[in-house]
Structure 1
Amino acid sequence: MQAKTEARPVGIIGGTGLTTLSGLQIIGEQMVDTDWGEPSAPLVEGRLGEQPVVFLARHGNPHRIPPHQVNYRANLQALLRAGVRTVVGVNAVGGIHPAMGPAHVVVPDQLIDYTWGRASTFFEGELESVTHIDFTFPYDRDARQVLIDAAAGQGIQCSASGVYGATQGPRLETAAEIRRMERDGCDIVGMTGMPEAVLAAELGLRYVCLGLVVNWAAGKTDQIITMEEIQAAIDTGMSDVKVMLEQSVAGLGRLSPLPQSS
C-alpha cells in the first residue's frame, strides 16, 4: 500500500437508502458554492469515531434529485474544497452476476459507462490545452483494499471485485438491456456511478464505490421489480454498509493524497 500520512476528512457520498449516516457525530453543516453551482445538499461535517468525515446526500435530503440531474461536478468540487482527498461513493445497484443478489455488498474494480448527455468533465470551455486523464483503473486500489479488509474483519459477505455498468435512468433497464450488459461483462448495474468516478479522477481524488445490491436486475427473475423489494433489501443490507464505513474510515483517512489534477 501507499505511504500513509495524517488523517484527512473522508468524503462519503450517500445514495438511495443512505440520506443520513447514523453514528455520525455532527459538528456542523455548510452549503458550499462551487464553480459549477450548488451541490445536491449541504455538506455535513462530523466524526465517525475519531475520524473526520464529510457526508453528502447525492440525491438531496429528502431524496428528490434523479440520477441524471445530480450536479456531480458541484458535489465533487465541494468535497475537494472541504479538504477531502478520499471519497466513498455508496451506490444502490441491481445484481446481474448470480453471486450478487439482493442485500449483497460489492466493491467493484471496473465500470462501463452507458450514460449520455451528462456533464462529465471539468475540462471544457475556454481551455489553454486539452487534458486527457488515465482512467484504466477507475477505482482507487488502496481505498478498495481498506473497504475489503473492513468487510473481512467483520465477517461481512462482500464481493471484492466486479464490473459496474452505469445506465442513464431514472427508469430501470429492460431485460434485453441487461442481457447485453451481461455479455459486455457487467456484474452490477446502477445509475450514479458515472460521471462521479471520472470527475473524482480529474480532481485527483481517491475514489471507491461501495455498492449494495437492492434488487435482481431486469429479467434475472420472472418477477417485475418493485419498490417494496428494493426497500426490503436496503433495510437488510444497509447495516453492513454502515459497519463497513465505520470500520474503514480511519484507514481511508490515513491514505496519502494523490497529486491534484484540477
Structure 2
Amino acid sequence: MMKIAIIGGTGVYDPQILNNIRDQEIATPYGVVRFKSGEYAGKEVAFLPRHGSNHSIPPHLINYRANIWAMKKVGVQNIIATTAVGSLNLAMKPGDFVLIDQFLDFIKNRTTTFYEGGERGVAHLDVTTPYCPSVRSLLAEIASRLGIALHQQGTYVCTEGPRFETPAEIKMFAKLGGDVVGMTNVPEVILAREAEICYATVSMVTNFAAGISPQPLTHQEVVEAMAANSENIKKLILSAIESLEPETDCACKHALAEYGGFKL
C-alpha cells in the first residue's frame, strides 16, 4: 500500500527519484487520475505531477478533488507537495525554500470541498493549522541536517492564474501578510485536510513578484530556477521519505472527527 505521496509542482515532474516505477490509474467520483508509483527506502511512494508530466494542465483546471481522492483511495497518509512561488518578502530570495504554515485564499472558480451537501452532507473544516506540524517539523530538521537553507514559516497567497499578478495586487498581498505567491496550493491543502491526510508544502522561490522584480516575469525563468535547485529539493524529499513513519497518529488524521471522519 502507498502511504506516502509526492505531489510535484512546476519543475518537479520526474519520478526517476524513485525505483521500480510503475504507471497507475485510479477512478474517482471526479474523474480518472493517472500517476506513477515507485519505491524508496523500502517504502512504496506515489508520484503525482500536479500539472501533468508535460505541464499541460493550467493551475485553474487542475482536478484537485480527483487527485486528493485518488491518493486517499490508494492508502496515502502523508503528502509532501512542492510549489514554485514568487516572493513578496525580501528576506525570501530566489533559490530559497519556504516551509509554508499559512495561506491566504484568492482563488475564484475552484471547488474547495468534498462536502457540497446531498449524500455527503456539509462539513465545516477547521484550518487553524492547515499544514501538518509533524511533517513540517521533520522537513525543517532534515533541511538543517543537510545544510539546505529553509525558512521555517511562510504565508502562501494563492491566486487563480494562469496569469501572473499585477504590482498593485502584490502590494496588497504584502500588506495582508503574504510572503510568497503561487497558483496551486489552494484548494489542494484544504482537500488534503478534509481527507485527513498529513500534508506539507515546500515552496521554492523562483523570482521576486511583479513590481519587486526588476524585469517582467516569465514562465521560463520559473522552470530554470526550479531546475537549478532540483538536487536540493530531491535530497530534502528523499530524506524525508526515509524518516517518515506514516502510521504515526496525528491531529490531521482526525480533522473531521466531528463528522465521523472522512469516508470515500
The TM-score with structure 2 as length reference comes to: 0.91
Q: Matches of 1:254 and 1:261 in 2, distance apart?
A: 17
Instruction: Pick from 5, 11, 25 the counterpart of residue 17 of structure 1.
Output: 11
Shift of 1:129: 4.1
Q: Which residue of 1 aligns with 2:262?
A: 261
Q: Which residue of 2 aligns with 1:75?
A: 67
Deviations 1:174-197 (A, max 9, x none): 001000000010000000000000
Q: Secondary structure at the match of 1:195?
A: helix
The TM-score with structure 1 as length reference comes to: 0.92
After TM superposition, list the pairs within 5 Å mapping 1:177-192 onto structure 2: 177-192=169-184
Percent identical pairs in the alignment equals 36
Does residue 31 of the first structure (1) align with residue 25 of the second (2)? yes
Instruction: Pick from 116, 119, 124 the counterpart of residue 132 of structure 1.
Output: 124
Deviations 1:144-196 (A, max 9, x none): 01111111110000001010000000000000100000001000000000000
Instruction: Pick from 75, 80, 83 the counterpart of residue 88 of structure 1.
Output: 80
Shift of 1:119: 1.5
Instruction: Report if the CA contact (8 A) 1:46-1:53 is conserved.
Output: yes
Q: Secondary structure at the match of 1:201?
A: helix
Q: Matches of 2:120 and 2:59 in 1, distance apart?
A: 31
Q: Which residue of 1 aligns with 2:144?
A: 152
After TM superposition, list the pairs within 5 Å mapping 1:50-61 onto structure 2: 50-61=42-53
Count, aligned residues: 254
Q: Matches of 1:227 and 1:126 in 2, distance apart?
A: 40
Deviates more, 1:129-138 or 1:251-260: 251-260
Instruction: Report if the CA contact (8 A) 1:96-1:220 is conserved.
Output: yes
Aligned residue type for 1:245: I
Shift of 1:254: 3.7
Relative to structure 1, the CA distance from residue 128 to residue 70 in structure 2 (aligned partners, 3 Å threshold; closer, same or farther) is closer
Q: Matches of 1:12 and 1:53 in 2, distance apart?
A: 7
Shift of 1:222: 2.5
Q: Which runs of 5+ in 2 are unaligned?
A: 255-260
Q: Secondary structure at the match of 2:233?
A: helix
Shift of 1:202: 0.7
Instruction: Report if the CA contact (8 A) 1:212-1:238 is conserved.
Output: no
Q: Matches of 2:100 and 2:206 in 1, distance apart?
A: 15
Aligned residue type for 2:123: T
Q: Matches of 2:95 and 2:153 in 1, distance apart?
A: 16
Q: Matches of 1:146 and 1:86 in 2, distance apart?
A: 12
Q: Matches of 2:141 and 2:227 in 1, distance apart?
A: 23
Relative to structure 1, the CA distance from residue 232 to residue 27 in structure 2 (aligned partners, 3 Å threshold; closer, same or farther) is closer
Aligned residue type for 1:77: W
Deviations 1:34-82 (A, max 9, x none): 011123xx22111122222110111111210000000000000101111
Instruction: Report if the CA contact (8 A) 1:11-1:55 is conserved.
Output: yes
Instruction: Pick from 18, 42, 47 the counterpart of residue 39 of structure 2.
Output: 47
Q: Which residue of 2 aligns with 1:164?
A: 156
Deviates more, 1:247-256 or 1:48-57: 247-256
Shift of 1:225: 1.2
Q: Which residue of 2 aligns with 1:208?
A: 200
Q: Matches of 1:81 and 1:128 in 2, distance apart?
A: 17
More helix by share: 2
